[in-house]
Amino acid sequence: MMASLRRSGLLAPSVLTIGALLILPLGLMAYVSTLERGPTGGVIWSQHTTDAYVQFLFERDLTDRLVVNTDYLHIFGRSIVVAAITTAITLIVAFPMALWMAFQPPRRRLLLVFIVTVPFWTNILVRNYAWILLLRNDGVIDWVLGRLGLTGEHINVLYTPLATTIGLTYSFLPYMVLPIYVSLEKLDRRLIEAAFDLGANRWLAFRRVILPLSMPGVVGGAILVFVPGLGAFISPELLGGAKSMMIGSLIQQQFGQSRNWPFGAALSFVLLVLVLLALSAHAARYRREPKP
């Protein structure tokens, strides 16, 4: 009895902090999405409407009828596609890299993990800003290619979805490498030796033993890249430009120049729901399987 009283006391601060400063605000955000927008930004607390959600899919034409507006859907679609492509690219690069790292001698392995982690610890702004330097017209890549005579005109990569993808891939590569590496490193080598012993060559051993057993790491990495990629803000904002807007920038815009708070809240809420769905799908799938 005393024990449970003490435990409640230990749990209370975290429950109160996270409850009051995150859960409550999230609920408030959902509530705000149902309110009427104020004339100069902000909201009118007493007036309820579904305008924000309507605005997501429709707009009013000149005769004040509702017409389907796919602009915002495009933005969501683009975000999903960019996040998916980023996940795919990081996976293709990270897997061989993690495979190589995992089979290095132990001393070197630790050093490699450290080397891979260092860029991850530098500030995200720094990581994306460096790509501005590289990708912009008159930037490093443009200059090098020009000097080598490979292109006639500027590369025009900055402020396109390609630039955003490059920035995201760069930022999230360690998130994909590390879980796969951990999963491969923990692999029982004797299983692979058994496969060799039973006549498998390297390719077969890889396909039938290593690959399946590294799946938890792969899925973990994929989640760690896709989910933050969906809601990414810095990379699209710095590298993407106005023409290739993603969800993050769109939301920010509602609280900046567009002054449409309920709409911004609605967009945030939809993003949150998407993220939670992706995570529960993953959790549900892996809850039934025993951990290796």
Partner 1 sequence: MTDATLTRSFTLRRFELWRFPGTRAVAIAALLYLYVPIVALVILSFSAGDSSLARWQGFSVHWYADVLANSDMLRAIRNSLLVASVATTTGTVIATMAALATSGPRFRLQTGFEAMIGLPLIVPDIVAGIATLLFFVMIGVPLGIVSIMLAHTVFAIPFAYLPIRARLQGLDPALAEAAADLYATPWQGFRRIVLPLIWPGIAAGAMLAFISSLGDVVVSYFVSGPGATTLPVYVFSMVRMGVTPAVNAISTLLMLASIALLTVSYLLGRRFQ
Looking at the Cβ atoms of 23 and 81, the one nearer to partner 1 is 23
First-to-final CA distance of the chain:
37
Pairing label, strands 35-37, 43-48? antiparallel
Looking at the Cβ atoms of 65 and 189, the one nearer to partner 1 is 189
The CA-atom distances, in angstroms, between 158 and each of 41, 87, 126, 232 are 32, 21, 16, 17
Amino acid at 84: A
At closest approach, how far in Å is the CB of 272 from partner 1? 5
At closest approach, how far in Å is the CB of 266 from partner 1? 11
Looking at the Cβ atoms of 61 and 193, the one nearer to partner 1 is 193
Q: How many other C-beta atoms lie within 10 A of the C-beta of residue 226? A: 22
At closest approach, how far in Å is the CB of 233 from partner 1? 5
Looking at the Cβ atoms of 9 and 290, the one nearer to partner 1 is 9
The CA-atom distances, in angstroms, between 197 and each of 184, 193, 201 are 20, 6, 9
CB 235 within 8 Å of CB 168 = yes
Looking at the Cβ atoms of 59 and 237, the one nearer to partner 1 is 237
DSSP 8-state symbol, 148: T
At closest approach, how far in Å is the CB of 127 from partner 1? 7
At closest approach, how far in Å is the CB of 91 from partner 1? 12
